[in-house]
């Protein structure tokens, strides 16, 4: 029996160190130490040995068992380290491979133009203001001297909400919000999103973008309005263009005008873009109506001001030769990728 145990031990100590992986090691463990192993069997037979033999064989069996267990533990540790190293190698970066290109995104063309407009006005000493897109009738109409019967207040022009508020139809309410909060001198632009109940077509979208300009101080004249507008359009579209005014009506300015710029495509000669008029319509302007100044408790005898509002969508379309406003809102990558 002694010899049998010795051979068994010998075999185990030879096989364990050369096994190749954890799976093999586990089957060796079962083979040498498992319930059905020779060692377990021999241990169960101890009771049948003679009194003298019992401690000798028992000792030998236990010793061998411990030794085999230790060998297995040592081998397991070694195999685990190898396994870890292998997975590290797999994850290592191959610096000889070409890099994967990173997809570069870009701002929407509308917002590129939006920021360009802000930059121009900041350089002219203006500040950027903002107001909410969901407005009250007071800010959108009443405070802007827009009477109850004005067609702009109709359901067919304005989106009203159930709670009596509305989606602002222009950025002009920001004029009131700014003047309520600050005293002159005021010099701001307020770019933002506006909404009108228009059927979408090539030049109309129920969602569009405008920016409002407002200047209020002592001694502000129509010449300041003209000068500011002219330097803006020149900075934006180049020195060859300039602006002109056509008489118009807005409830919150007096006098009021519509703004055209000399066609940036044909320089006034007449082309398809300007429908042969030589001019492009850009927005509205005027001197702030004294009633509006009084509404915000400004002294209308002391202060005067000008305001204008221009379409950011319109400017973007002119700048990039886009003929349909709806493409600005479609998220078509074939269009957007041209502005990266």
Contact present, 336 and 108 (Cβ < 8 Å): yes
Cβ density class 283-322: b for 16+ within 10 Å, e for less: bbbbbbbbebbebbebebeebbbbbbbbbbbbbbbbeeeb
* 305 contacts ligand PHE (rule: CB under 6 A): no
**283 in contact with ligand PHE (CB under 6 A):** yes
The answer to whether residue 307 forms part of the interface with ligand PHE (CB under 6 A) is yes
Give the Cα-Cα-Cα angle 278, 339, 209 (nearest 5 degrees).
60
Phi-psi region of 110 (alpha: psi -120 to 50; beta: other; left: phi over 0): alpha
In 3D space, the residue among 257, 256, 274 whose CA is nearest the CA of residue 265 turns out to be 274
CA angle 221-223-225, nearest 5°?
Answer: 80
Q: What is the DSSP secondary structure assignment for residue 17, as one 8-state letter?
A: H
CB nearer to ligand PHE: pick between 32 and 141: 141
Q: How far apart are CA 332 and CA 120, in angstroms?
A: 29
Cα 75 to Cα 19, 68, 252, distances in angstroms: 9, 11, 89
For the bound state, the minimum distance from the C-beta of residue 215 to ligand PHE, rounded and expressed in Å, comes to 11
CB of 249 to ligand PHE, least distance (A): 10
Q: Which of 146, 243, 253, 304 binds ligand PHE (CB under 6 A)?
A: 253
Interface residue with ligand PHE, options 131, 184, 286, 305 (CB under 6 A): 286
Q: Which is nearer to ligand PHE, 131 or 283 (CB)?
A: 283
Site map for ligand PHE, 229-248, x if CB under 6 A? --------------------
Nearer to ligand PHE, 307 or 317 (CB): 307
Q: How many other CB atoms are there within 10 angstroms of residue 244's CB atom?
A: 14
Q: What is the spatial distance between Cα 285 and Cα 283, in angstroms, rounded to a whole number?
A: 7
Under DSSP, is residue 262 helix (H, G, I), strand (E, B) or coil? strand
| Min CB(214)–ligand PHE separation in Å | 8
Q: How many residues bind ligand PHE (CB under 6 A)?
A: 13
By CB under 6 A, is residue 192 in contact with ligand PHE? no
Residue 169 DSSP symbol: S
How many separate helices (H) and strands (E) can be counted in the chain?
11, 9
**Among the candidate windows 51-59, 110-118, 226-234, 306-314, which touches ligand PHE by CB under 6 A?**
306-314
The token pair that represents 176 in the structure block: 């009131």
Q: Does 174 bind ligand PHE (CB under 6 A)?
A: no
CA dist., res. 170 & res. 257, Å (int): 16
By CB under 6 A, tell whether 308 contacts ligand PHE. Answer: yes
Exactly one of 173, 184, 284, 305 binds ligand PHE (CB under 6 A); that residue is: 284
Minimum distance, C-beta of residue 98 to ligand PHE, in the bound complex (Å): 53
Per CB under 6 A, the list member of 9, 135, 309, 315 interacting with ligand PHE is: 309
Smallest separation (angstroms) from ligand PHE to the CB of 104: 36
Please identify which residue in 158, 172, 205, 228 interacts with ligand PHE, judged by CB under 6 A.
172
The stretch among 18-26, 36-44, 130-138, 282-290 that binds ligand PHE (CB under 6 A) is: 282-290
- Alpha carbons 262 and 244: distance in angstroms, whole number: 8
| Member of 61, 68, 229, 285 binding ligand PHE (CB under 6 A) | 285
> Measured between alpha carbons, how far is 36 from 57 in angstroms, rounded to an integer?
19
Q: Which stretch binds ligand PHE (CB under 6 A): 24-32, 132-140, 267-275, 281-289?
A: 281-289
Q: How far is the CB of 247 from ligand PHE (least distance, A)?
A: 13
By CB under 6 A, residue 195 contacts ligand PHE: no
Cβ atoms within 10 Å, residue 192 = 20
**Interface with ligand PHE by CB under 6 A: which residues?**
170, 172, 212, 250, 253, 256, 283-286, 307-309
């Amino acid at each position: 029996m002694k010899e049998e145990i010795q051979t068994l031990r010998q075999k185990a100590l030879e096989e364990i160190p050369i096994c190749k992986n954890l799976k093999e090691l586990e089957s060796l463990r079962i083979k040498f130490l498992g319930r059905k192993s020779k060692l377990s069997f021999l241990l169960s037979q101890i009771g049948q040995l003679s009194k003298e033999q019992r401690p000798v064989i028992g000792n030998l069996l236990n010793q061998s068992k411990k030794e085999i267990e230790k060998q297995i533990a040592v081998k397991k540790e070694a195999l685990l380290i190898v396994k870890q190293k292998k997975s590290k190698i797999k994850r290592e970066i191959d610096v000889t491979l070409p890099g994967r290109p990173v997809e570069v995104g870009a701002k929407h063309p509308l917002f590129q133009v939006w920021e360009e407009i802000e930059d121009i006005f900041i350089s002219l000493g203006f500040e950027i203001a903002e107001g909410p897109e969901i407005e009250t009738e007071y800010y959108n109409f009443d405070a802007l001297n827009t009477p109850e019967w004005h067609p702009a207040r109709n359901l067919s022009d304005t989106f009203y909400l159930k709670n009596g508020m509305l989606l602002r139809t222009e950025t002009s309410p920001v004029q009131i919000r700014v003047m309520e909060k600050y005293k002159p001198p005021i010099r701001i632009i307020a770019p933002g999103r506006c909404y009108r109940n228009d059927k979408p077509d090539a030049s109309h979208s129920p969602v569009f973008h405008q920016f409002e300009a407002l200047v209020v101080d002592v001694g502000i004249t129509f010449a300041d309005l003209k000068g500011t507008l002219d330097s803006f359009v020149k900075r934006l579209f180049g020195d060859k263009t300039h602006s002109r005014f056509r008489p118009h009506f807005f409830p919150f300015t007096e006098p009021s005008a519509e703004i055209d710029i000399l066609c940036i495509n044909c320089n006034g000669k007449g082309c398809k873009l300007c429908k042969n008029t030589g001019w492009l319509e850009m927005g509205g302007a005027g001197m702030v109506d004294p009633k509006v100044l009084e509404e915000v408790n400004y002294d209308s005898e002391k202060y005067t001001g000008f305001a204008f509002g221009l379409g950011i969508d319109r400017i973007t379309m002119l700048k990039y030769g886009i003929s349909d406003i709806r493409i600005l809102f479609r998220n078509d990558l074939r269009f957007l990728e041209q502005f990266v």
